[in-house]
Amino acid sequence: MSTRRTHIAAGGWAALAGAVSGALFVTVAEVVALVAARDASPLIAVGSFVVDIVPRWAKELAIELFGSNDKAFLLTTVGAAALVAAAIAGILELWRRWAGAALFLLGGAAAVAATVTRADASALAFLPPAIGAFVGAASVHVIIDVLRHWRCAPDTDRPAGVDRRRFLLLTGAAAAAAVLAGVGSRIGSAATSSIAAVRAALKLPAPANRVKVPAGADLHLKNLSPLFTPNADFYRVDTALTVPSVAPSTWRLTVDGMVEQHVDLTFDDLLAMGLHEYAITLTCVSNEVGGNLIGNAGWLGVPVREVLARARPRHGADMVLSRSVDGFTASTPLTALTDPNRDAILAVGMNGEPLPLEHGFPVRMVVPGLYGYVSATKWLTELKVTTFAADQAYWTPRGYSPKAPIKLSSRIDTPRLDRPLSAGPTKIAGVAWAQTVGIGKVEVQIDGASWQEATLAPAINADTWVQWSLDWNATSGSHTLAVRATDRSGRLQEEKHTPIAPNGSTGWQSTLVRVS
């Protein structure tokens, strides 16, 4: 009995020593990454690998449950899994010398594989996980050797307590080193990440023209989405665990594939083509009926067609595969980018500022009328002229359509069930969008009665959402409000509810409100 208890206790100490060595692995790798290979943190690389391989339903569930904290959740999960594996390695090492160290090296090999296969991996990307794994393996091996002396094979020549003290000292030192390395790498990366400073110092040239907003286009109603979504409130959707840092000075755009002429552009080349301002409402395919993965901005940019014209796409091409520095790709029909009547742009500015880092700094695509995943590539680096038959974009093998025009839709912003409302005259209001066509009519239904036409605010253009409102004399009790839109070509919004996959949700939003 007592030897069994001793073994269990020894196993506990071994697990602790393993976990501490695991923490040393990860934090040492962070420090090396800071010095040798910026974007080669193993935790991030393994997390990104998980992002790329998890099934669609798991990703949707994570976004559903954690919203924009889904990335923090993923990193925490990967970190916790690594700690558990390291604890197990500690126990293995106690059971058999080198077995735990070998597991550390195996983990290191996996982390190296995840790191060097990232699209933005540098030549030294193998170093951080490799060095981290060696330090972790050495740590677990040395500490467990001491533990073995203390718990399992007491050295009769040495006074009792020496090995215990040595074990606790070593484990404590390793833990302290891990904390120091962890905190140090955080501070170091914050202090030396200059991209935010580069962006802050960047002055974009004035555009040749500015968006004209018709009077009354913003109804300025309480709880109604503003006509232009402030950058800080703009939804963010991407697969990037850390925001790629791309300096305008090193940014290059390559136009290649089925072209007569390879084109390479620097940031200054792009600016020299002349900036214009465009108002375009961006929408995510993952936006559920009534959801908020949509935003409207004034974008500063250059028409994609002007860049493509320099490259002269060859006959037979029907798609442009746009690529981000982090490997994300989007497939956009070539005609959507060359159409003189569609303002597909390479954007460098958003709502009067350079693109925010998380929205694609320094250059992204924005195409009116197409969901973001097939058009709005952030941190853009390449436009490959190709065909839908020859190439697939990031989301295509993951269950989404290769082509995806934005579906005509409408949303009630106010009133909402979660905001108190008292009886009396009020306004029902929201937004509606039918990019490239424009909204013709919005109707509201109260408690299943006949549809009433809402007042439409004047639209900026056909590529932006419009605000709408309807006066309502609210009586106390529960009410059901529904909304539907018709576009300018007379097409009524699809009534039937369908899920976001494979190419965007449909359905009329219906919502319950309570009036006190």
Ligand X SMILES: Nc1nc2c(c(=O)[nH]1)N[C@H]1C(S)=C(S)[C@@H](COP(=O)(O)O)O[C@H]1N2
Pick one of 167, 328, 465, 468: the residue that binds ligand X (CB under 6 A).
Answer: 328
Long-range pairs, 74-78, Cβ under 8 A, ≥24: 74/47, 74/50, 74/241, 75/43, 75/44, 75/47, 75/241, 78/43, 78/46, 78/47, 78/50
267 binds Mo ion (CB under 5 A): no
236/276 with CB nearer ligand X:
236
Write out the binding residues for ligand X, residues 217-256 only, by CB under 6 A: 234-240
236/398 with CB nearer ligand X:
236
Longest dimension (CA), the chain: 95
Pick one of 136, 372, 402, 430: the residue that binds Mo ion (CB under 5 A).
Answer: 372
The minimum distance between CB 111 and ligand X, in angstroms, equals 23
| Cα dist from 412 to 188, 340, 462, whole Å | 46, 34, 20
121/237 with CB nearer Mo ion:
237
Residue 433 binds which entry of ligand X, Mo ion, none, with Cβ cut-offs from 5 to 8 Å by kind?
none
* Number of Cβ atoms within 10 Å of the Cβ of 120: 19
**Of the ranges 30-38, 157-165, 285-293, 502-510, which one interacts with Mo ion (CB under 5 A)?**
285-293
Residue tagged 């800071």 (tokens):
34
372 binds ligand X (CB under 6 A): yes
- 466-474, strands of its sheet edge to edge: 409-414, 424-433, 466-474, 455-456
**Of the ranges 134-142, 250-258, 367-375, 378-386, which one interacts with Mo ion (CB under 5 A)?**
367-375
Contact 409, 466 (CB under 8 A): no
Pick one of 373, 379, 465, 472: the residue that binds Mo ion (CB under 5 A).
Answer: 373
378/479 with CB nearer ligand X:
378
Residue tagged 């206790």 (tokens):
9
The minimum distance between CB 371 and ligand X, in angstroms, equals 6
282 binds ligand X (CB under 6 A): yes
235 binds Mo ion (CB under 5 A): no
Tokens for 64? 């559903």
- Per-residue buried b or exposed e for 212-246, using 16+ beta carbons within 10 Å of the residue's own CB: ebeeebbbebeebbebbbebeebbebbbbbebbbb
The minimum distance between CB 287 and Mo ion, in angstroms, equals 8
359 binds ligand X (CB under 6 A): yes
Write out the binding residues for ligand X, residues 1-20 only, by CB under 6 A: none
Residue nearest to ligand X (CB): 372
| Cα dist from 66 to 60, 243, 357, 499, whole Å | 10, 19, 22, 19
- 452-453, strands of its sheet edge to edge: 452-453, 439-446, 477-487, 509-515
Residue 235 binds which entry of ligand X, Mo ion, none, with Cβ cut-offs from 5 to 8 Å by kind?
ligand X
Task: Classify residue 148 by its DSSP letter.
Answer: I
Q: What number of chain residues touch ligand X (CB under 6 A)?
A: 19
Pick one of 150, 299, 373, 433: the residue that binds ligand X (CB under 6 A).
Answer: 373
d(CA 211, CA 278): 6
108/372 with CB nearer ligand X:
372
407 binds ligand X (CB under 6 A): no
Contact 182, 30 (CB under 8 A): yes
Write out the binding residues for Mo ion, residues 17-46 only, by CB under 5 A: none
326 binds ligand X (CB under 6 A): yes
Binding footprint of Mo ion on the chain (CB under 5 A)? 237, 284-285, 372-373
Binding footprint of ligand X on the chain (CB under 6 A)? 234-240, 282, 284, 324, 326, 328, 359, 372-373, 376-379
